[in-house]
Chains A and B, each alone.
Chain A
Amino acid sequence: MKIASDQELLLLVDYLMGNGTWANVTSERRAQFSKYYEKVWMDIHAAGSNSDRFSSWLSRFALRGPRRLLLADAFSALLNRKGPLRQKLNAIVALAECEGSLYRSLSRVPEAIIQTWTEMLLIFMAYALSLLASFVVIPPMYAAHLLFSKTCPKQ
């Protein structure tokens, strides 16, 4: 039985390496990648009984769409570094760096030096904005979740 959904994988890969990356990987490699991600997923969720309620919620929140993932990625890098979301993102990077075409997408950099510096500046600014937004969005969302859900089963 397949546990980790293909949609989750598509979301994470395209978020980290750019839209359309997953679609460009050959079907054979995609199947292998999915098999290994499944293993990671099961390991993380088997250890999930030790993760706190917020970490589990943040992971579920993040995997509902790219915008939420962007906010949760920034937020968890600061305040939830060992949570399941970070483990999944780390595993996707680790798995991607082993495969030729995914590694090329992951490590793609501009050729001109000036463009590299400009891009780095933009990356920093985008990160600062998403971090700021995450602090505005995530705590109230979690508070609302706690308020409206009588039970919050652990993942």
Chain B
Amino acid sequence: MPHNNKVTIVIGSGPSGANAALTLLEKGRRVVLMDVGNEEEDLPLKENTFDELKMLLPDPWQYLLGDRLQGIIPPGSVSVFEYPPSRNYLVREEDKNLSVKSRKAFNPYISHNRGGLGVAWGANCVPFDEDDFVGMPVTASEFRDSYLEMGNRLAIAGSASDRVGTKLGSDTALNNPLDLNDHDKALLDAYSKKSKRISEQFGITIGRSRMAVDTLPGSPHSCFYCNRCLWGCPRGAIYDPRMTLRQCEAYSAFSYRPSTYVTRLITSRRRVTGVEYLDTRTREFISEQADLVILAAGAIGSGAIFLRTLKNDSELKLMLGNGEIKTQSLLDTKVVKLPYIFLRMIGRPISAKNFQFNKLLALIENNDIPEYGRLVQGEILSLSSLMYHPLISKLPFGSRTSSKLFFRLKPSIGVVTIFLPDRPYLNNGMRLVTDPNSAGGDQLEFCYQSDPRKDELRANIVSRVRRALRSLGCIAPRNATMILPDGAGIHYAGTIPMSEEDNIFTLDSDCRSRAYDNLYVVDGSAFPRLPSKSLTLSLMANSVRVAKKL
């Protein structure tokens, strides 16, 4: 294919950056992808299950808890789950290149690895519908083709015919849904017997999850239920952006530039002329020319680059006068976890071969607080392979009693994880404050307050889910409910949103910056509202939609 000589620089290799790059390459563009690009270590014993690792690894403690035993969560800690130490760098809280002033209001996860946070995503793959696009300057129909395109790029497992499938609809082809374990089967069975009542009384529909997982029989990447999803899928059954990067690498017009931490864009007369980056190996700052730039470093990373660019742009600073340089907003899905005990499953055997992420999905209607959309999503997960000591230490008994009880109850324990939608609220956003010790010369400061209406929505949803679980034969103890701190949802969005509001902090409906003509933003930053559904599929679809127009 003949190459257009103009170079497009894509910043970030996460789900949106990788898919934007591939779309541009398919159109014959030359693409340079800049990325910090920390590499994941090769996964051990790829054909074995999680339980087998404990027997076969020469040093299972080093792998499961880390060489400094950082995976041990002490008693009394709020946390019940930490990312496995072997994958911890994916979502490290602190980074020497990007410093965060205070994590009190908002505690974000930041990733500088190859594939971004997309390497550790939960694989839920539900497209936004008309209702989800309310308040955005784009419609569901404008996304349709790119969702179809993403359906071709990913293998999506799910059911179009169960109650959830019917409610969600589907344009994309779906592969066989994931196999259910005995807990999930029994729960779905209990639900089918009472579905009418649960739907009418609580507005809840339960069915199979829609996941970006290869379940095709005969495929070399097909999921073999090793229970290691959280520890890195050894088969490559769960989609991750590195697969798309490998496709990009097949194009001669593609150049992957690791070890580049982009600090800001170089601008002149409302156009981006280049990119300034820190070479993380030599710690030297380097500039490179650019014809077109696509920001895809994640809502927080892209937000930081954008703010730093504005701060250094004397022309725009003059225009802003005393106006504050701050992102338009900051969004994240608030997470609530509702652990439950499914009485029927106590003492039942449970197979070591399982899929660790949620295989069931609950769609919870929201008719009371319309500004937060029509549906709230809950992921239903039965406990299969985690590190259990934090849960054991939370039980109100001695360690011996707690561990004995825990393993007798384990087949019956599940968690409903509810993701609450978000919308711009008050002064929520992020800005930069000076910090001469950091690579960019500044720190990120977050301002985030929770909307009381969202708290009302949370109380309403949690109460209905708890009652629905009770009618299915489950106990969801009230004091076991966990409300995660702001920033723990890892669905960051809204920092440089598409908007009809004409100001330099926003994008038009094609994700073109209103500050710079040749700058596009295609990651979560571009979404002005955050539905409850996982954002990843939609931000990939958006990056394809935007890249196709360039």
Contact = CB atoms under 8 A, between A and B. Distances in A.
Contacts of B388: 93, 97
The winner among A33, A73, A109, A111 for most chain B CB atoms within 10 A is: A109
Contacts of A110: 347
A36 interface: yes
Contacts of B60: 98-100
A100 B51 contact: yes
Interface in A2-40: 15-16, 32-33, 36, 39-40
B51 to A, nearest CB: 7
The winner among A36, A39, A97 for most chain B CB atoms within 10 A is: A97
A32 B60 CA distance: 10
Contact of B401 (A82, A100, A112, A126): A126
B387 A97 contact: yes
A123 B403 CA distance: 11
Contact of A86 (B64, B65, B68, B75): B75
Nearest to B399: A89
Given A73-B400, A87-B75, A109 B389 contact: no
A132 interface: no
Given A73-B398, A81-B75, A90-B393, A123 B346 contact: no
B400 A100 contact: no
A113 interface: yes
A21 to B, nearest CB: 12
A103 interface: yes
B392 interface: yes
Contact of A94 (B59, B389, B408): B389
B55 interface: yes
Interface string A93-122: 111011111010011111111011101100
Interface in B358-411: 387-389, 392-393, 396-405, 407-408, 410
B69 A127 contact: no
A40 B69 contact: yes
B71 to A, nearest CB: 7
Contacts of B398: 70, 73-74, 76-77, 127, 130-131
Contacts of B44: none
A105 to B, nearest CB: 10
Given A32-B59, A86-B393, A113-B346, A98 B64 contact: yes
Given A73-B400, A99-B60, A123-B405, A81 B76 contact: yes
Interface residues of B, number: 40
A101 B54 CA distance: 8
A63 interface: no
A106 B403 contact: yes
Interface string B62-105: 00110011011111100000000000000000000000000000
Contacts of A101: 55
A70 B400 CA distance: 8
B221 to A, nearest CB: 27
Nearest to B64: A98
Interface string B291-331: 00000000000000000000000000000000000000000
Given A32-B59, A127-B397, A90 B389 contact: yes
B408 to A, nearest CB: 5
A91 interface: yes
Contact of B407 (A76, A94, A109): A109
Interface in B150-197: none
B349 interface: yes
Main SS at interface, chain A: helix
A108 B60 CA distance: 20
Given A39-B69, A94-B72, A117-B347, A123 B404 contact: yes
B78 to A, nearest CB: 12
Contacts of B397: 74, 77, 127
B283 interface: no
Contact of B399 (A90, A95, A109, A117): A90
Q: How large is the interface on A (under 10, 10 to 19, 20 to 34, 35 or more residues)?
A: 35 or more
Contacts of A89: 399
Contact of B55 (A43, A97, A100, A124): A100
Contacts of A87: 74-75
Contact of B54 (A39, A73, A99): A99
A32 B396 contact: no
Contacts of A81: 75-76
Contacts of B396: 77-78
A74 B402 CA distance: 10
A93 B55 contact: no
B425 interface: no
B61 interface: yes
Nearest to B404: A123
Nearest to B406: A107
B348 interface: yes
A101 B55 CA distance: 7
A86 B347 CA distance: 27
A93 B403 contact: yes
Contacts of B56: 100
B536 to A, nearest CB: 31
Interface string B217-230: 00000000000000
Contact of B403 (A16, A70, A76, A95): A16
B347 A113 contact: yes
B61 A32 contact: yes
A120 B61 contact: no
Contacts of B52: 100
A99 B61 contact: yes
Contact of A107 (B64, B389, B407): B407
A36 B76 contact: no
Nearest to B410: A107
A77 B399 contact: yes
A124 B60 CA distance: 33
A66 to B, nearest CB: 10
Give me the 9 closest cross-chain CB pairs, A-B, nearest first: A116-B347, A100-B55, A73-B398, A89-B399, A94-B389, A113-B347, A82-B76, A100-B54, A127-B401
Interface of B: 51-52, 54-56, 59-61, 64-65, 68-69, 71-76, 346-349, 387-389, 392-393, 396-405, 407-408, 410
6 contacts: A16-B399, A73-B401, A86-B75, A89-B399, A106-B403, A127-B401
Given A36-B61, A77-B396, 10 more contacts: A16-B403, A73-B398, A73-B400, A86-B75, A90-B72, A93-B393, A94-B389, A95-B65, A100-B51, A124-B401
